[in-house]
């Protein structure tokens, strides 16, 4: 089984908690960061721009993705240009569609032509990837985020889809495939095995990396100890 040091995939931290982001920034294993409006809402962020600029004033080297939050393509474009201006390590996240199911391809093409580094998000099909790679500027670094975890939520195995996406992207060296909506530590191993470029994971999963290759009998014992400790503290009686 692989060791942590054997992993070739770039691991990004997914979240919007400043303290946790700064902690992850100190770890050499963490190569970048992703955020989204839902994560920001969850952590109670009220001022999007102030939060982003605060983070960017500290995390200056590793890539960070910030997402537009309009449903109108013209407003998305305005937001994207502003977000891109905040720092050189910013990738602007553009959803593959708006809530009206209107494809974002024209917007993505315009922004790519303006040399904006993009992270195309919420992708779940090979056809969506095919659409995106054809319109992105081959000279500009970009990320294509396929939500493997959400694909799995539907009962589908995401691995064949992810492999097909990698094959579709093989002639686009500046496009990186990101395994998104990760659910468990195993996803890091799976994404690395197929040659995925990036995986973004929550800090809870990152903190489990020390469990790679952990002795299963010892893990079994630790589990029993946890059950016993919790039952004792609860003072259960029959």
What string of DSSP letters covers 107-156? Answer: HHHHHHHTT--EEEEEE-SHHHHHHHHHHS-TTS-EEEEE-HHHHHHTT-
Contact 144, 133 (CB under 8 A): yes
Residues, the chain: 238
Q: In the predicted model, what is the mean pLDDT of the chain? A: 97
* Domains in the chain with CATH codes: 4-234 (3.20.20.70)
Cβ-Cβ contacts under 8 Å for 8 (sequence gap 6 or more)? 192, 195
pLDDT in tens, 77-132: 999 999 999 999 999 999 999 999 999 999 999 999 999 999 999 999 999 999 99
Residue 201 sits at φ, ψ, to 5 deg, of: -140, 155
Give whole-number Cα distances, 27 to 19, 22, 24, 94, 229, in Å.
Answer: 13, 9, 5, 28, 32
Residue 2: is its pLDDT beyond 90?
no
pTM: 0.95
Closest CA to 193 of 214, 174, 179: 179
Burial class of 24 by CB neighbour count within 10 A (0 to 12, 13 to 18, 19+): buried
The interaxial angle of helices 126-135 and 105-113, nearest 10 deg, is 30
DSSP state of 62: S
pLDDT in tens, 181-221: 999 999 999 999 999 999 999 999 999 999 999 999 999 99
| pLDDT for residue 1 | 75
* Pairwise CA distance, residues 99 & 80, whole Å: 18
| pLDDT for residue 102 | 98
């Amino acid at each position: 089984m692989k060791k942590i040091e054997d992993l070739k995939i770039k691991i990004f931290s997914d979240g919007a908690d400043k303290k946790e982001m700064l902690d992850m920034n100190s770890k050499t294993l963490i190569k970048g960061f992703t955020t989204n409006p839902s994560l920001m809402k969850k952590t109670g962020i009220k001022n999007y721009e102030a939060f982003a600029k605060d983070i960017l004033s500290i995390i200056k080297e590793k890539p960070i993705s910030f997402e537009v939050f309009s449903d109108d393509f013209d407003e998305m474009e305005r937001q994207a240009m502003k977000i891109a201006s905040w720092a050189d390590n910013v990738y602007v996240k553009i959803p593959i569609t708006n809530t009206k199911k209107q494809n974002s391809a024209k917007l993505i093409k315009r922004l790519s032509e303006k040399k904006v580094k993009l992270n195309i998000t919420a992708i779940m099909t090979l056809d969506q990837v095919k659409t995106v790679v054809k319109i992105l500027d081959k000279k500009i670094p970009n990320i294509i985020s396929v939500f493997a975890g959400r694909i799995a939520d539907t009962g589908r195995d995401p691995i064949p889809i992810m492999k097909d996406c990698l094959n579709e992207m093989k002639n686009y060296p500046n496009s990186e495939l990101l395994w998104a909506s990760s659910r468990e530590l195993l996803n890091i191993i799976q994404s690395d095995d197929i040659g995925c470029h990036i995986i973004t994971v929550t800090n809870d999963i990152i903190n489990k990396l020390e469990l790679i290759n952990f002795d299963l009998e010892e893990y079994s014992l630790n589990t029993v100890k946890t059950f016993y400790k919790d039952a004792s503290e609860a003072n259960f009686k029959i």
